[in-house]
Each structure stands twice: as C-alpha cells, then as structure tokens.
Structure 1
Amino acid sequence: MLDIASELRAWCVAPREFALATVVAVSGSAPRGPGASLAVDDRGTALGSVSGGCVESAVHELCLEAIASGRPGVHRFGYSDDDAFAIGLTCGGVLDVLVTPVRRTDPVRPVLGAVLDTALRGGRAALARVVTGPPGQLGRALAVRPDGTYEGCLGGGPVLDRAAAGRAHALLLAGRTGTAELGTAGGLCGEPLTLLVESAAEPARLLVFGAIDFAAALARAGAFLGYRVTVCDARPVFATPERFPDAHEVVVDWPHRYLAAEAAAGRLDTRTALCVLTHDAKFDLPLLELALRLPVGYVGAMGSRRTHAQRLDRLRAAGLPREALARLRSPLGLDLGATTAEETALSIASEIVAVRHGAAGGPLTGARGPLHRRPALLGVASGTKVP
C-alpha cells in the first residue's frame, strides 16, 4: 500500500470509493512481496500492482466485486500446471491477496488515511490489518504510532486491539513489513488471527566513514538503493559536499563521536549499515569498538587481511566478545574481482543487500530454492507468534 501512498491518499480525500488489494503472503518465486498493492476505484481506474502483470486483471475484477458487495476476502493465486496462461503465476509462485473495500462509511477508511498522511509527511506509522481470523474481522485495521498509541479497532475488543498494536509496534520500530499472529489464549479472540503489518518509516541509513574516492562511489550506490547516506570524516579538507554530491549529508567530526551522538539520539536501528573506509587505526578502532556494540544491521571495514587480523587483536584487547567480533565484515564486500571505485562500491552494496536478506551472495545459476526470499504462506509467515 505504501508504494502508492500519494495517489491513494488523494482517493481517500476525494472521497472516492475504491477497493485495496494487498499481497499478504507469498510462496516460491513471486515477483512482489507482502505489502505490494493494487487499488481500483468504482470507475475501474487502477493504481499500483500486486504481481507485475501476472494476475492483475483477475484482481481488478475482485476489487470491483468488493466495492459492490462491501465484503473483504483473501484470494490465492498460483501456477497452473495445465495451462500456464490461465489465471496464475507463470513464475511458479503463490500469492495470497487481501481485497478490502474502502467505501465512504467503511471503518477502515480513516485508519488508512491516518497512516497515509503520516507516511507522506515522512513520519513513522504502521497499518495492521486482519488477514486471517473471524469473518467479521477480516480487513479491519489499526493505525499504530511510534509511541505505541493507536486508532481504529479490530472488532474483537480492547484487549485484542492492545495486543495487536503491540505486535505492530515491534515491527514498526524495526522498520519492517511482515505478519504477526495472535492466538486464542488470554481471551484475545475466538480463533487464531493473523495481521499484516505495513511499516511506514524513514529510509534505512548508510553511514560511510572516510571521505575517500571509494566513499563517493559507495554514496552513489547507497542512494540508488534507497538509503539515506551520510559521509563522515574528521578532516574538513576532504569532507565537503562538493566531493560527495550523492550523499544526503556530509559531516565533519571524529567518526566515533558522531556515531555515539547518533546512537544516543535513537537515530540508528537494525536496518542501519556502517562502512569504515579510512584505513587509519586512530579513526577505525574507536569507531569499530562502538559500532560492534550497537544493534545495527551491518558493520564492514575496508583493509587487507593482515589489517583485519591486527584490528581483531586490538578489539579483543579492548574487551569486545567473540560474538561482537564475528559481526565485523572485513575485508568488506563480495568477491566480484572489483578494481575501480565503482566496482568496489558495487561489491560492498551487494554484500549489504545479501546480509539484509540473509543470502549467501553466490550466483543464482546452479543454486536451488526460491529466487525470492519472502515470508511463507499465511499461518507460516515469519513474524511474532504469541500463544
């Protein structure tokens, strides 16, 4: 839904009657993941996509039916062995799609509008929608804020709403879109219930330490991947905006001091990637000693294997435990045979992407398993389960 936030908010304000179809789970090789959405209004106008073209026509019809009937539903689309051109995914995957009507009086409308407003302002919020559970609760939604407060209701009472908001809040803080399951214990609901939580959060951060030519290429690659890029160096003659036009900000400060301030301000999270490119122990060691103690997603340092071994010895002497040292990726990047600054940036960016998705970074040719690492089908999707 957040991929069409601007246009969808205009429909909410109009107010235009429409239906929202959202991918809630995938299995196998599917072109788009949970959160991808197609919206269709009562005139048949369409926004977005759920499959890159495979099942758009069928989902379009389901949206029109939902507008007419006012009833939400979850629909499954998969590959057809008998006819590869029948309604289904010829890539071999399976999609579960939630289709929710958003008519003028539907309770989901103000909740949806609140999340879209926040997302378009660059703020943080999560939309939690029921995708499996009692029929009367399907499609019901909560808008959850960073402080844990929420609006909307799931139709199962305040205890269920508070529990659902807590699960959504955890995903929001991590900047993740995913599923969360609520069970029957504690009187939460009469039967198991699954939420799709879509998080609107500011872009993940890429912190590049060391104002060198490799940093300029890496800033360009990071911006291309959607990161908010910061280049930091203590040397003002090198750390200038003119040398790093693709960085969102260029900071002149000692790297470890800047990182400590960002951590204290709560501006780092598990999506944050740190790349240390300075090759200078007086900068690298205090920075890495701090970075490896923080709950960030990626910490990499440039340097030879000999330099890496020396760093490890000094970091051990500083008291870092083995599990913290194991997080350090050095020499950083994947083995692409890179020689130029641009090729090196591609190597580093590729490793950051691989780490984010839990991938090995090897060639797809000859590999086994699904091409796309996605949550499994409903009921088996990755997320938080409570009894």
Structure 2
Amino acid sequence: MFDIAGELHRWLTEGREFAVATVVSVGGSAPRDPGAALAVDRDGTAIGSVSGGCVEGAVYELCAQALEDGETRVERFGYSDEDAFAVGLTCGGIIDIMVTPVGGRAPVRQVLSSALSAVLRGAPGALARVVEGPPELLGGVLLVHPDGSYEGGLGGAVELDRTAAAEAGALLDAGRTGSVAVAEDGSYCPGGLTLFVQTSVPPPRMIVFGAIDFAAALVRVGKFLGYHVTVCDARPVFATAARFAEADEIVVDWPHRYLRSTETDTRTVLCVLTHDAKFDVPLLKVALGLPVAFVGAMGSRRTHADRERRLREAGVGERALARLRSPIGLDLGARTPEETAISIAAEIVAGRRGGTGVPLTGVGTPIHREGQAASAAA
C-alpha cells in the first residue's frame, strides 16, 4: 500500500474509514507487483490499482463488503479462458489480494499511520501481516523499524510478534518485499502461517556525471522511474539549479573525488556523460571498483575503445571492464537528448529486471519474469 501512501495518510488524518486491498502474491504474468494497493472509502471514492484494470471492479466490491462486515479476507484472481469479460486476469497471471477494513480500530489505524508517515519521510520500515492462517489473525499489523523495534501486533502470542519482527527485519535489511512462513507459536517451523512483509526503503540513487543537455533529459527520466537523482560536474557554470531544476542534488566537484566520498549501494546506477577523458577515466576507475547496479558511459565506439585503452593503462582489469556499459543505452536509433535518455533508462531497467531489450513481438519468453517483482524494493 506504500504506492498510495500520501492519499492513505491523508484519509487517516481526516478520520475516514476505508478498506485497502493489497496484492500479496503474484504468479505468472500479472500487471502489478506485490504491495500494489487499491483503497475505497465509505463514500465510494477509490484510489490506486491492483491489476491495471483487469479485476478492479471485483476488488472494489470486496472493499465495500469489508467496510460493511469488518472482515479481513484474502481472494485469488486468475485467468479466465471461458469468458474474456469474466472476473479474472486475461493476461494469464494469478494474484492474491488481501482486503483489510480500516475502521475505528485505533491500534490498527495508529500502526498504519506510523508506517505511511515513515514512507512519506523516506524512512525505512517493514509492515508485516498474516495472509494465510487462522481468521482471527488476518486483521493484525506489525510495523518493524530498522533497529528491530516494532509497533502493533498480529493478534497472537508474543513470540509470534517477535518472530515476525525478526523475519520482517531480515527482509528490510535486504530491501525486499515478500512472503515468509512461520508457525503460529512463533517458531520457525513452516506450514503454520504465511506473513506478507512489505518494505519501504529510500529510493535508489542515480548519479549523473556531466552537466550537459543529455543529462538534463536523463534527470527527468530518472525521477520518473523513482530514483533519487544527483548531477555532478566540476564546472560550476554548467552545474546549476536553473539547468537541472528536477534534480534532487547538484554537486560541483571533480566526479571521481565526489564518487569516492558519497554513499552508494547495490541499487545505485552511475551514468557517465562527461565525454572527456580527464573526467571519465579517473571516475570510471573508481566506479568499476564499487558494488553498484549499473555503470554506463556515453561516447562513440571509437571513444569507447580509447577509453578502454586508457582504463587498462590506469590498472583496471578485464573483469572490471566487463561491467562497463558503453556506449551507454539500448539501440533505439535515438537522436535527441530525450530519446537518448529513454535509451539509457531502458538499458537500466532491462538490467534491473533481467530483460533482454528485444521487441516483445514474436518472442515466446514470459513478459513478467518469476521472482523479479517480489525482489524489487518500493
């Protein structure tokens, strides 16, 4: 439900009663990842989406029903090959939806308010709920903080809350949303309960080196994809807020020096658009030694060959060089800065999701790869 955190937090602040439907499991080809949510209030106002339109009407009715009877329920929606207009996912997938009423129960409202506030602040946290188990446990929520402390409860034994907090903490450390199995008594024997844990972590970083027109277009696309975008250039006349109004940060520093000093992780993407050996060779030498998700550099094939030669002379090994995506971007025939930014973003997404970059037309491989969505962070 973190994808509609702003609206839901406003509803809680206004004292509205609502029901929220959350995707808790996905199988096959399905349009939304676990954690996607749709909420309906007492007035019938709906926000969010759980399927891109395939089952929205049926889920809307489930939310209305949950508001009336106060019951939490889990429903499965799958492919219907008898009637394309029947309730089901015509794309061939299966999704499990958990529908939770949020009425006047103060503890649940308070935990959800804390979780949504953390999301809006960019603070990490994990929300755990029972999606399979005794009916009396389906309504509880547990918010786990990075230090291991937690708020709320699942409605069972204290040991269950402790175990759930430990499991949710492990997923939070990994930045993953997913399901875990535990026993009702809080032991780690599988087969008793299934918990759905949705994590919220700060957005991944995109660092764009080189304050050029192509960088301005890439900043806009990076923000659209949910990255925290930094622009870095050693030239203060080009690295200005006026030129990069949508960037989260603008840094005036030598790129390699800044990269050595700033924080990166395995989700960080580095896009080198400097196109100047005095900048990009020392920068790439640092970048290729970091455990980041993506390192790409702009330039022609001739520029790339010269850059590789210089990097080898600087002591960069073949294994590290193999990580360099250069020339950066997929072959879209891009010409303009905006088209080039889409080309670069497409290569980043393909690397993140395990895509091939080839047209889907005529390709027999699954559109949505199993396990990829569950491992992505919000």
* Range into which the TM-score falls when normalised by the shorter chain: 0.7 to 0.9
1:210-229 correspondence to structure 2 within 5 Å: 210-229=210-229
1:1-387 correspondence to structure 2 within 5 Å: 1-105=1-105, 107-173=107-173, 175-176=175-176, 178-184=177-183, 187-188=187-188, 191-263=191-263, 268-312=264-308, 314-315=310-311, 320=316, 322-373=318-369, 375=371
Question: What is the rounded CA distance, in whole Å, between the counterparts of 2:122 and 2:154 in structure 1?
Answer: 26
Question: What is the rounded CA distance, in whole Å, between the counterparts of 2:167 and 2:262 in structure 1?
Answer: 26
Q: 1:186 to 1:157 in 2, by over 3 A?
A: closer
SS of 2:352's partner is helix
Q: 1:294 to 1:171 in 2, by over 3 A?
A: farther
Question: What is the rounded CA distance, in whole Å, between the counterparts of 1:283 and 1:171 in structure 2?
Answer: 38
Q: 1:180 to 1:28 in 2, by over 3 A?
A: closer
SS of 1:335's partner is coil
1:52 shift after superposition:
2.8
Range with greater deviation from structure 2 (41-50 or 17-26) = 41-50
Confirm or deny: 8 A CA contact 1:79 1:91 kept in the other structure: yes
Which amino acid is the alignment partner of residue 136 of structure 2? G
CA deviation string 1:33-54 (max 9, x = no partner)? 2112122234443332222332
Confirm or deny: 8 A CA contact 1:27 1:376 kept in the other structure: no
Question: What is the rounded CA distance, in whole Å, between the counterparts of 1:196 and 1:318 in structure 2?
Answer: 48
Question: What is the rounded CA distance, in whole Å, between the counterparts of 1:186 and 1:310 in structure 2?
Answer: 60
CA deviation string 1:48-80 (max 9, x = no partner)? 222233222222222233233333221011221
Question: What is the rounded CA distance, in whole Å, between the counterparts of 2:64 and 2:335 in structure 1?
Answer: 54
1:187 shift after superposition:
2.0
Question: What is the rounded CA distance, in whole Å, between the counterparts of 1:43 and 1:343 in structure 2?
Answer: 43
Question: What is the rounded CA distance, in whole Å, between the counterparts of 2:281 and 2:150 in structure 1?
Answer: 43
1:302 shift after superposition:
1.6
Which amino acid is the alignment partner of residue 275 of structure 2? H
1:249 shift after superposition:
2.5
What value does the CA root-mean-square deviation take over the aligned residues? 2.9
Between the two proteins, the alignment pairs up a number of residues equal to 375
SS of 1:39's partner is strand
Confirm or deny: 8 A CA contact 1:234 1:255 kept in the other structure: yes
1:241 shift after superposition:
2.4
Question: What is the rounded CA distance, in whole Å, between the counterparts of 2:272 and 2:375 in structure 1?
Answer: 32
1:134 shift after superposition:
4.1
Question: What is the rounded CA distance, in whole Å, between the counterparts of 2:135 and 2:322 in structure 1?
Answer: 47
Q: 1:148 to 1:262 in 2, by over 3 A?
A: farther
User: What is the TM-score when the length of structure 1 is the normalising length?
Assistant: 0.85
Which amino acid is the alignment partner of residue 57 of structure 1? G
Which amino acid is the alignment partner of residue 20 of structure 1? V
Larger RCO (CA within 8 A; separation ≥ 6): 1
Confirm or deny: 8 A CA contact 1:168 1:180 kept in the other structure: no
Q: 1:293 to 1:142 in 2, by over 3 A?
A: farther
Question: What is the rounded CA distance, in whole Å, between the counterparts of 1:190 and 1:11 in structure 2?
Answer: 37
1:106 shift after superposition:
6.5
1:310 shift after superposition:
4.6
Question: What is the rounded CA distance, in whole Å, between the counterparts of 2:291 and 2:116 in structure 1?
Answer: 29
Q: 1:235 to 1:174 in 2, by over 3 A?
A: farther
SS of 1:23's partner is strand
What 5-or-longer segments of structure 2 have no aligned partner?
Answer: none
Confirm or deny: 8 A CA contact 2:163 2:187 kept in the other structure: no
Question: What is the rounded CA distance, in whole Å, between the counterparts of 1:294 and 1:349 in structure 2?
Answer: 20
Question: What is the rounded CA distance, in whole Å, between the counterparts of 1:320 and 1:345 in structure 2?
Answer: 27
1:221 shift after superposition:
2.2
Confirm or deny: 8 A CA contact 2:162 2:186 kept in the other structure: no
Range with greater deviation from structure 2 (241-250 or 188-197) = 188-197
Question: What is the rounded CA distance, in whole Å, between the counterparts of 2:104 and 2:186 in structure 1?
Answer: 35
Q: 1:323 to 1:157 in 2, by over 3 A?
A: farther
1:275 shift after superposition:
0.3
SS of 2:262's partner is helix
